[in-house]
Amino acid sequence: MTQMLVGQSFLIIVNGLILVVTALAVAPSIFNEHLHDAGVVSASARTHILEAYISSFNASLLIAAFSSIVISGGLSWYFMVRIVKPIKEVTDFAEMLASGDLDARTPIENSIPELNRLTDALAGMSVDLALSREEQSRLLSDLAHELRTPISTVLAIVDGIEDAVIQPDARTWKTIRDQLERVNRLSHDVREVTQNSEKLLNTMSSAVNPGDIAKAAYAAWNPRIGRKGINFELEIEPDLPQIYVDPQRIGQVLSNLLENALRYTPIGGKIDLTVLRAIDRVHFAVVDSGQGIEAHQLPHIFDRLYRGDAARHSGDSGSGLGLTIARSIAQSHGGELTGMSEGRDLGSTFTLSLPIPTQLIS
């Protein structure tokens, strides 16, 4: 504010000096011309009249200059306060956000549109920060909960072995390995979903045939699904257009969906992988006849670390992050991943929709 006032005062002084100098330089000659036009030819009379004019003019000019400085200074102070006050409020608001006070009071609107835009941007940032902090807190809490079970199980087994209560046989070691693999998978999935949220996942997009991606996924999972006694079928619509994606990442999504289908489909069940076109998109659908998803669980299946009733009751060792990662990959490709089910024991359908390049839409 001091700098603005000094600058404004300097402008007022410069303008005042220009006014005074210009008036003193121009006014006497103009007045003399008026005296000549009025027929005042006496030198003594002209001198007396001119001196009287200059004297009164100087006095008036000083009064006008003083009044101008006072009034201009007052107006400058008023407008400086109107400008600086909201700037200070916005600065204080930003400093409170920087210090971690996400409940800081948002400055009221003022007459400066640019400052209002800045205030709105900061307010939006504070909301995002609050949501991010809440999500981080919930994630850490869920992680602690998810890690507690396998770690407690391994510690109990180790204590039992030390106390000679449990024999370290093949079944014991398998239990320990399963629990450690669960922890390892959870660690890997947390790292990957965090990288994807921060846009750090490496992608190598290229034009590929969606049918080739589906065939690769079918070839990889057919042996495992077949060993469990589940019928696995692949259906690909002919003449599908190419899509511009990272085939490894899309293959990762399909693998996640097929792994879930395998986990929750009983022996004798069925899993279908289909690839169809719908106007400007290609749909990959994984349909199973498994345990299904109840209506109250559907809105949460893509939440981080969410595990439905079927997963908990079956002792599933999944991390609860697979679908979150899969949806993030789909969204990073401009696509969408959705899930639906008619209810318990009625199977599930997960659909990955990916856009077809505009130049290939016909």
In tens, the pLDDT along 141-173 reads 766 766 776 788 888 888 888 888 888 888 888
Q: What's the confidence (pLDDT) of residue 203?
A: 60
Q: What's the confidence (pLDDT) of residue 4?
A: 74
Which residues are paired to 286 by β-bridges? 273, 350
Q: What's the confidence (pLDDT) of residue 229?
A: 92
Q: What's the confidence (pLDDT) of residue 152?
A: 82
Q: What's the confidence (pLDDT) of residue 192?
A: 66
Low-confidence ranges of the chain (pLDDT < 70): 1, 41, 102, 104, 106-108, 110, 135, 138-139, 142-143, 145-146, 149, 185, 189, 192-204, 304-321, 359-362
- Non-local CB neighbours of 104 within 8 Å, separated by 6+ positions: 93, 96, 97, 126
> For the domain with range 206-360, which CATH number is right: 3.30.365.10, 3.40.50.720, 3.30.565.10, 3.30.70.1060?
3.30.565.10
Q: What's the confidence (pLDDT) of residue 317?
A: 47
How far is the C-alpha of 161 from the C-alpha of 159, rounded, in Å? 5
pLDDT tens digits for range 278-337 = 888 999 999 999 988 888 888 878 876 555 544 444 445 455 667 877 888 888 888 999
Q: What's the confidence (pLDDT) of residue 312?
A: 43
Q: What's the confidence (pLDDT) of residue 28?
A: 76
pTM value > 0.85 = no
CB neighbour class for 197 (10 Å; exposed up to 12, middle 13-18, buried from 19): middle
167: left (phi over 0), alpha (psi -120 to 50) or beta: beta
